[in-house]
C-alpha cells in the first residue's frame, strides 16, 4: 500500500494537470475571440461533435437489431423535425427524439 504522502502528491499532480487543461482553453479563448477560425469553430464544432455522437450511438443500435435501425432513424427524423419546427431548442428536440426512440424500442 502506498504511503499517504505519495497518494496526496499524486492527487495534487492530477488536480493541477486537470485544472490547467480545463482552464487553458478559456484563458486562450479571450485573446482569440475575434479570430475568424474561432468563429468558424464555434459554429461547426458543436454540430460535428453531435454528429460523431449520433453516428456512434446509432451504429451500435443498427448493427444489433434490424428493427432498432428503423426506430433510430425515426427518432432522428423526429429530433430534426422538432428542432427545426420549434425554434431550434436543442434540449426539447433531443428530449423528444429520445422519448420517441425509447417508446418505440420498448412498446413496439
Regions of the chain short of the pLDDT cut 70: none
Q: What is the pLDDT of residue 10?
A: 96
Q: What is the pLDDT of residue 14?
A: 97
SS3 assignment, position 98:
helix
pTM of the model: 0.55
Q: What is the pLDDT of residue 16?
A: 96
Q: How far is CA 39 from CA 21, 27, 35, 73, 100, in A?
A: 21, 16, 6, 31, 34
Q: How far is CA 75 from CA 12, 48, 65, 68, in A?
A: 44, 19, 15, 10
Q: What is the pLDDT of residue 108?
A: 77
Q: What is the pLDDT of residue 39?
A: 85
Dist. CA 98–CA 39, nearest whole Å? 30
Dist. CA 17–CA 54, nearest whole Å? 30
Amino acid at each position: 500500500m502506498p504511503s499517504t504522502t505519495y497518494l496526496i502528491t499524486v492527487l495534487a499532480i492530477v488536480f493541477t494537470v486537470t485544472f490547467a487543461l480545463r482552464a487553458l482553453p478559456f484563458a486562450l479563448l479571450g485573446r482569440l475571440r475575434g479570430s475568424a477560425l474561432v468563429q468558424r469553430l464555434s459554429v461547426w464544432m458543436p454540430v460535428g461533435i453531435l454528429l460523431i455522437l449520433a453516428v456512434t450511438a446509432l451504429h451500435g443500435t443498427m448493427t444489433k437489431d434490424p428493427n432498432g435501425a428503423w426506430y433510430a432513424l425515426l427518432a432522428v427524423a423526429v429530433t430534426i423535425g422538432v428542432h427545426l419546427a420549434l425554434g431550434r431548442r436543442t434540449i426539447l428536440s433531443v428530449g423528444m427524439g429520445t422519448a420517441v426512440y425509447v417508446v418505440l424500442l420498448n412498446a413496439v
